[in-house]
Amino acid sequence: SQQGEEDPQALSIQEGENATMNCSYKTSINNLQWYRQNSGRGLVHLILIRSNEREKHSGRLRVTLDTSKKSSSLLITASRAADTASYFCATNDMRFGAGTRLTVKP
Amino acid sequence: NAGVTQTPKFQVLKTGQSMTLQCAQDMNHNSMYWYRQDPGMGLRLIYYSASEGTTDKGEVPNGYNVSRLNKREFSLRLESAAPSQTSVYFCASSEALRGGAFGETQYFGPGTRLLVL
């Protein structure tokens, strides 16, 4: 069974808009990671947030973690066409969800 | 640094044939992993190696074997391929500083696309 589950399954926005995707998980975690996968390529690590952290930033990315709700969100601000990819969350035992497919239209 | 490399990039097998997927990393990482990704799905862990000389089953180990040849290399073997093993296979590595196999950033290879007819 998959530990992390992303929502929505697909998201289409215009360049310049913000994109928010969510991840829910079932059991207690030590940390949660977000990865990006461009079509046909391997996964690239974006951010790791630990269970004692509530928010973390990296460039245009902002990740929040709510351990009481067992959920995390990834916000991409001022999106670009190059952000078009699938985004996955993974819990510390590396169980991945099915991902959110983000399309950013130029 | 090449990071994580995988060979071959693409392979077609007939049912019952065997093959070995190769993976190597040049980052001096302790832990290595094999995943499969089916269309429209996330990755599922097949096997992992927390350190040189150890291997453990992941979520979907049936039909596969692995060998941690040395610190750099971790191979995945299909002894008798089945159509259900058609998938994209990813190898990854991690520094795993805290002594466990998980919980740190993983670095992924480009993948091997396997088609079993």
Report CA Rg, chain A: 13
The whole-number average pLDDT for the span A39-62 is 93
Distance of CA B51 to the CA centre of its chain: 14
pLDDT at A2 over 60: no
Strand partners, A71: A24, A66
Contact list, B98 vs chain A (CB under 8 Å): none
How would residue A30 be classed by pLDDT, with cut points 50, 70 and 90? confident
A102 neighbors A21 (Cβ within 8 angstroms): yes
The residue type found at B83 is P
User: How many Å apart are CA A17 and CA A103, to the nearest integer?
Assistant: 11
| Contacts (Cβ under 8 Å, ≥6 apart) of B71 | B28, B29, B30, B52
Residue A9 pLDDT greater than 50, yes or no = yes
Who contacts A26 (Cβ-Cβ below 8 Å, separation ≥6)? A3, A70
> Which structure tokens are listed for A100?
């959110």
Residue of A101 and A96 predicted with greater confidence: A101
Check residue B96 and give its pLDDT. Answer: 72
> Using one digit for the tens of pLDDT, what is the confidence trace for B80-103?
999 999 999 999 999 875 545 577
Task: Count the residues in chain A.
Answer: 106
- In chain A, what residues touch B59 (CB-CB under 8 Å)? 95
Residues in chain B predicted with pLDDT less than 50, given as ranges, are 99
Contact A96 B43 (CB under 8 A): yes
pLDDT tier at A1, thresholds 50, 70, 90: very low
B103 or A29: whose pLDDT is higher?
A29
Residues 56-115 of chain B whose Cβ lies under 8 A from any Cβ of chain A = 59, 90, 92, 102-111
- d(C-alpha A94, C-alpha A17), whole Å: 30
Confidence band, pLDDT 50/70/90 cuts, at residue A27: confident
Residues A77 and A64: their CA atoms lie apart, in Å, by 14
Q: Do B102 and A45 count as a contact with CB atoms less than 8 A apart?
A: no
**Pick from B3, B6, B4, B39: which is nearest to B22 by CA?**
B6
